[in-house]
Amino acid sequence: MFKQYNMNQVILPMDVEMKLQDNDIAYAVHELVESIPDEAFSAFLRDTGCPAYHPRMMMKVILCAYTQSVFSGRKIEGLIKDSVRMMWLAQGYEPSYRTINRFRVHPAVKDLLRQSFVQFRSRLVQEDIIDAEAIFIDGTKIEANANKF
């Protein structure tokens, strides 16, 4: 006996937040970006053209992708379409890789990302998740493509 399976059955869309675990990284990213004051996003305001995606949503998507070691705009776009946590952070929007990359090269984003990482580390120290004296170093080792002899 099998469980009922029918691809022609109409199903209602469900809130994807129900699929996330209680300790998912998406909640930490969400809280971090929501704690940024509104004045920090004033550089993204414009009066002409089509309405843009909200910079908070774009920051959440980019930071969550960075936590998963995804840095390519096309791969971030793929994550937004496939990953439940990214769907929840984007709230159903699907920005293209061009939109993601245009947002990342905006002059105000560099400072926002730097402040976000500092703020995230200080929050981890305050909550005693990491030690204040801890130093994190990237220990990547890449073998050279040179002749050994």
Q: Count helices and strands (H / E) in the chain.
A: 6, 0
- For the chain, give every domain's residue range: 16-41+52-126
d(CA 96, CA 82): 14
State mean pLDDT over 41-63: 87
pLDDT bucket at 149, cuts 50 / 70 / 90: low
pLDDT digits (tens, 9 = 90+) for 82-114: 999 999 999 889 999 999 999 999 988 888 888
Q: Is 6 helix (H, G, I), strand (E, B) or coil?
A: coil
Q: Are 16 and 51 in contact (CB under 8 A)?
A: no
- Tell me the C-alpha to C-alpha distance, in Å, between residue 29 and each of 9, 61, 68, 116, 145: 35, 9, 12, 10, 38
Give 57's DSSP letter: H
**Two tokens, residue 18:** 């129900």
Mean pLDDT in residue range 50-75:
91
Mean pLDDT value of segment 111-122: 85
Work out the pLDDT band at 118, boundaries 50, 70, 90. Answer: confident
Predicted pLDDT at 148: 64
Query: What's the predicted TM-score (pTM) here?
Result: 0.78
